[in-house]
Amino acid sequence: MNAIRGIAASPGIAIGTAVIVAESLSQVSFRQVAPEEVAEERTRLEAALAESAAELTELRDASAATMGREAAAIFDFHLGLLRDRSLVGAIVADIEREQVCAEYAASENFVKFADRLRALPDPMFQERAGDVVDLERRVVSKLIGASGKRLKDLGGPAVVIAHELTPSQTAEFHRAKVVAFATDAGGLTGHTSIIARALAMPAVVGCKDATVQVEDGDLVIVDGDAGQLVVRPDEAVLAHYRALAHRSEARRGALREGADLPSVTRDGTTVHLLGNIEFPDEITAVLANGGSGVGLYRTEFLYLTSPRVPTEEEHYRAYARAVELCAGRTLVIRTLDLGADKYTQEHLEEPERNPFLGLRSIRFCLQNPALFRTQLRALLRASALGPIKVMLPLVSNVMELRQTRMMVHDLCEDLDEEGIRYDRNLQIGIMIEVPSAALMARTLATESAFFSVGTNDLIQYTLAVDRGNERVAPLYNGANPAVLTLIKASVRAAANAGIDCSLCGELAGEPLFTCLLLGFGFRTLSMAPAQIPAVKRVVRATTIEHCELIARKVGSFDSDRQVLSYLQDELRKVDPDAVNLDG
Ligand code: PEP
Ligand code: MG
């Protein structure tokens, strides 16, 4: 038995059979195979090479007919590489000698081959390195596709073990078969973790080398409460975890029972608890957990789960469905937050060097006006069906808000000419996710209909800590006084300007922070639906007066440790069960 420590990304305990999935082309997982599996890996490789050759022959013939012989010669070169014994022979030799899976052997040797070409003095050979990379993608994706297909043929409950998973891969898991997952990479507020929580699927990320330590078919336990992956447990450990799983489910059941009670503090202040969603159908879960609407609908998932760019109609249908399910309740729809770890890099020939500081979110939309207009027009049309608020992600200066408003204004004129109805008072608000926005909150508040503080990004940009990087995960901390100062400045600026300010980062769903946030002045918190009952319990057990006292006290601390231990003590007084659940 072996226990691998990671980050508790999504709560719950699940027991199942490990399925190793190598899904990221840039990071094909290393997987050792048993001696008796070597022949099967060779066969998989041969099948992938044959399938690639058939595709390339077809491509060559089609391009010869339409684009001429020069274009066709490129594919002839690819075909030639597939027959190159020094390349293919080296892949086979690695499978046999090193006993590694076919995708790893193929990827390694393609990369080495490309490096050799790049090192040659003749520029003609250097350029060919790009062809080798292209061919690698073709062949390796076939091998990986095969491991993806294996997921569909699973019998019992499976636990996916991967180096890294994209948010869309996670969203597409077959729920009846995949009960949990664990990854080598990733952090608590990475989007894959957020999806896991939305699916209520136990998950542990940042395990560093789970794909090396776990073998396909191993019995594993994902402990999403403690952040642990247990490999090949003995009977006693299994029994212990079965009992834990039972207790954890009972606790969640008890919390859900109080979900429908009013979200009001003991001294009579209403706190709006809303849900964060990625797909309209999650609204059912928001309401079932006692939420009073949607505070963040991450619309980029329309892109992330589709092989092509969604049309205006597809956008419209999704928003119309959300309006219908919300039935008049609050519905805040965020415009596309693409970029960084979401979507755009896979579609670029040359990925950005620093994508989290690059062309993402509102910047990406403003530089792709056709794509942005499609979404804004669909949003305007859907606003005729029921209340909608539009929220812009990652605004870092006032010009981005003004430019968007101008686009919306032009679109309204078009709709007027076409006689199409829309909400003439559509509210456009912004997320406060970067320090520049928090520091300029007073100015932004004069032009924005509302704020929502996105702490997931605000923490990473304030502390210069990548939210998805397991190596710096301990530094990523919402209790850091610098972060708290910016949160407080944002909510104060909003109050002074008379606009609403909610908080929709993962911090909103942590009972540990509930009193502090109420003390800062927040009256709306938006979170993963499953977190609503636990936060509501704290709201109902406290008073605003006490929360304000907590906020004042926290203002005098200078380290995150002090803040955390004080908040833990306070929460223990208000709701001891919540502390047990957290810790
Ligand atoms: C945030 O950054 O806090 C947020 C809610 O947005 P996302 O997690 O989608 O980046
Ligand atoms: Mg964000």
Residue 161 sits in a domain whose CATH number is 3.50.30.10
Query: Long-range contact list for 399-405, CB < 8 A, 24+ apart?
Result: 400/362, 400/363, 400/366, 401/428, 401/430, 401/444, 401/447, 401/448, 402/447, 403/366, 404/335, 404/362, 404/365, 404/366, 404/372, 404/376, 404/428, 405/447
Q: Which atom of ligand 1 is nearest to the CA of 300?
A: 9
Burial class for 562, CB neighbours closer than 10 Å (0-12, 13-18, 19+): middle
C-alpha to C-alpha distance for 517 and 239, rounded to whole angstroms: 40
Q: Which of 422, 10, 35, 479 is nearest to 204 (CA)?
A: 10
User: How far apart are the CA of 159 and the centre of ligand 1, in A?
Assistant: 27
pLDDT at site 27: 56
Q: Is residue 58 part of a domain?
A: yes
Whether residues 307 and 332 fall in one domain: yes
Whether residues 279 and 347 fall in one domain: yes
Q: Which of 504, 507, 526, 531 to mutate to test the pocket of ligand 1 (most atoms within 8 A of CB)?
A: 504
Residue 470 near residue 205, CB atoms below 8 Å: yes
Q: Which of 191, 272, 315, 546 is catalytic?
A: 191
Count of domains in the chain? 3
Burial class for 85, CB neighbours closer than 10 Å (0-12, 13-18, 19+): exposed
Whether residues 136 and 156 fall in one domain: no
Whether residues 316 and 447 fall in one domain: yes
Strands 219-223 vs 203-205: parallel, antiparallel or unpaired: unpaired
- Exposure string of 417-449, with b = 16+ CB inside 10 Å and e = fewer, is eeeeebbeebbbbbbbbbbebbebbeebbeebb
User: How far apart are the CA of 80 and the centre of ligand 2, in A?
Assistant: 46
- Alpha carbon dihedral 527, 532, 535, 536, in 10-degree steps, equals 130
Looking up residue 298, the CATH number of its domain turns out to be 3.20.20.60
Whether residues 316 and 424 fall in one domain: yes
pLDDT at site 63: 67
Whether residues 272 and 420 fall in one domain: yes
User: How many whole angstroms from its chain centre is CA 287?
Assistant: 22
Q: Is residue 241 part of a domain?
A: no
User: How far apart are the CA of 528 and the centre of ligand 2, in A?
Assistant: 14
Q: Which of 504, 515, 546, 547 is catalytic?
A: 504
Whether residues 136 and 17 fall in one domain: no
C-alpha to C-alpha distance for 477 and 513, rounded to whole angstroms: 12
Strands 450-453 vs 500-503: parallel, antiparallel or unpaired: parallel
Domain boundary among 113, 144, 175: 144
Q: Is residue 311 part of a domain?
A: yes
pLDDT at site 305: 64
Looking up residue 140, the CATH number of its domain turns out to be 1.10.274.10
Ligand nearest to the CA of 453: 1
Residue 509 CB less than 6 A away from ligand 1: no
Whether residues 269 and 214 fall in one domain: no
Q: Is residue 416 part of a domain?
A: yes
Q: Which atom of ligand 1 is nearest to the CA of 506?
A: 3
Q: Give the Cα-Cα-Cα angle 471, 476, 477 (nearest 5 degrees).
A: 150
Q: Which of 177, 106, 108, 178 is nearest to 142 (CA)?
A: 106
Amino acid at the residue 215: E
Q: Is residue 305 part of a domain?
A: yes
Whether residues 545 and 430 fall in one domain: yes
pLDDT tens by residue, the chain, 583 residues: 788 998 888 989 999 999 887 644 455 767 888 898 899 999 999 999 999 899 888 878 876 776 667 667 777 888 888 888 889 999 999 999 989 989 889 988 988 888 888 888 776 776 677 778 778 878 887 887 655 556 556 667 899 998 888 766 676 677 778 899 999 888 777 777 887 887 889 999 989 889 889 988 899 999 998 899 999 999 999 999 999 888 888 888 888 888 899 999 999 999 999 999 988 988 999 999 999 999 999 998 887 666 568 899 999 999 999 999 999 999 999 999 987 766 666 566 667 888 899 999 999 999 999 999 999 999 999 999 999 999 999 999 999 999 999 999 999 999 999 999 999 999 999 999 999 999 999 999 999 999 999 999 999 999 999 988 888 888 999 999 999 999 999 999 999 999 999 999 999 999 999 999 999 999 999 999 989 999 999 999 999 999 999 999 999 999 999 999 999 999 999 887 776 544 3
Q: Is residue 583 part of a domain?
A: no
Q: Which of 311, 278, 328, 23 is nearest to 148 (CA)?
A: 23
Q: Cα–Cα distances in Å, from 500 out to 156, 287, 497, 551?
A: 48, 22, 9, 19
Residue 337 CB less than 6 A away from ligand 1: yes
Whether residues 345 and 489 fall in one domain: yes
Domain boundary among 144, 172, 192: 144
Q: Is residue 251 part of a domain?
A: no
C-alpha to C-alpha distance for 75 and 55, rounded to whole angstroms: 10
Q: Is residue 29 part of a domain?
A: no
Amino acid at the residue 349: E
Residue 457 CB less than 6 A away from ligand 1: yes
pLDDT at site 48: 92
pLDDT at site 86: 87
Whether residues 138 and 156 fall in one domain: no
Domain boundary among 144, 174, 195: 144
Whether residues 462 and 338 fall in one domain: yes
Which residues on adjacent β-strands are paired with residue 310? Answer: none
Q: Let me know if 246 is a catalytic residue.
A: no
Is residue 135 helix, strand or coil?
A: helix
Q: What tokens does 102 get?
A: 């076919």
C-alpha to C-alpha distance for 361 and 298, rounded to whole angstroms: 11
The DSSP H or E segment spanning 580 is helix 576-582
**Domain limits for position 63:** 35-144
φ/ψ bin of 419: left (φ > 0), alpha (ψ from -120 to 50), beta (otherwise): left
